[in-house]
Amino acid sequence: MNGSTILQKLETYFRLSPAPSGLIVPPDPLEQGQESAEFVDGTAVRHAAVLLTLTRPCASLDESHVMLTLRTSHLRRHAGQVSLPGGSANPEDPDIIHTALREAEEETRLRPADVTVLGRLPPLIMPSAFHVTPVVGLIAPGITLSACPQEVAEIFYVPAAIVLNPGNYRINHMLFRGRERQFWELQHGQYRIWGATAVILRHLAVQLDQLR
């Protein structure tokens, strides 16, 4: 898909599904069937949001890219992993979209005014008891960003045609807390996109692929 086609499909998807229902389903069988609840394995659920941004195609480049970040190696959670900018909701956030925009600005200096929000995807409930809502938006190509050194080691872009192709994802396995877990993974150059980030990106890829 070229950038224009991706943008058209995104707009169609969010026009047809303005209020997402259900949950994003992870590939691990033990994580499936989770219902939106107040506790996960006895741990209180914490609401969070991530911002999934795509660059708009332009006259000089009819291609869209997805912005991703590489987390710093000293963080307590998901250190050194590829992620979508985001974080926990604050009590003063008026809604979950505000959470995603606020966190993205803190991590990448992306101003909320520079994001055209298209809509939300269904939430993903993680084993860590985070209830994560992905917010999807568009930004201009070549926009100036700056990584927050406390949280983000690098900001980079992957062609949307790669990220939004379900066939590019593979199931991988790892031993975690005494059991083997399954997860989606996409390798792009030096970047390994896996875990919750891959689950969210692949979910959107599948939704767009179903639009003919």
Task: Give the integer Cα–Cα distance in Å for 60 and 67.
Answer: 19
pTM score over 0.95 = no
Percent of the chain with pLDDT over 90: 65
pLDDT of residue 181: 83
Give the pairing type, strands 43-44 and 39-40: antiparallel
- Ordered domains of the chain (ranges, CATH): 3-15+44-160 (3.90.79.10)
Q: List, in order, residues 6 or more apart from 132 with CB less than 8 Å away.
A: 48, 49, 50, 86, 123, 124, 125, 126, 196, 200
Q: Which of 28-37, 52-61, 172-181 has the highest mean pLDDT?
A: 52-61
pLDDT tens-digit readout, 155-167: 999 999 999 999 9
Comparison of pLDDT for 118 and 72, the residue scoring more = 118
pLDDT of residue 59: 64
Residue 140 pLDDT exceeds 90: yes
Average pLDDT over residues 118-147: 92
Mean pLDDT of the chain: 89
Task: Give the integer Cα–Cα distance in Å for 13 and 180.
Answer: 35
Task: Give the integer Cα–Cα distance in Å for 98 and 93.
Answer: 6
Average pLDDT over residues 92-101: 98
pLDDT tens-digit readout, 177-187: 667 788 999 99
Residue 79 pLDDT exceeds 60: no
Residue 32 pLDDT exceeds 70: no
Task: Give the integer Cα–Cα distance in Å for 198 and 105.
Answer: 22
pLDDT of residue 20: 87
DSSP 192-204: EEEHHHHHHHHHH
pLDDT of residue 192: 95
pLDDT of residue 126: 83
pLDDT of residue 80: 67
pLDDT tens-digit readout, 109-127: 999 999 999 999 999 988 7
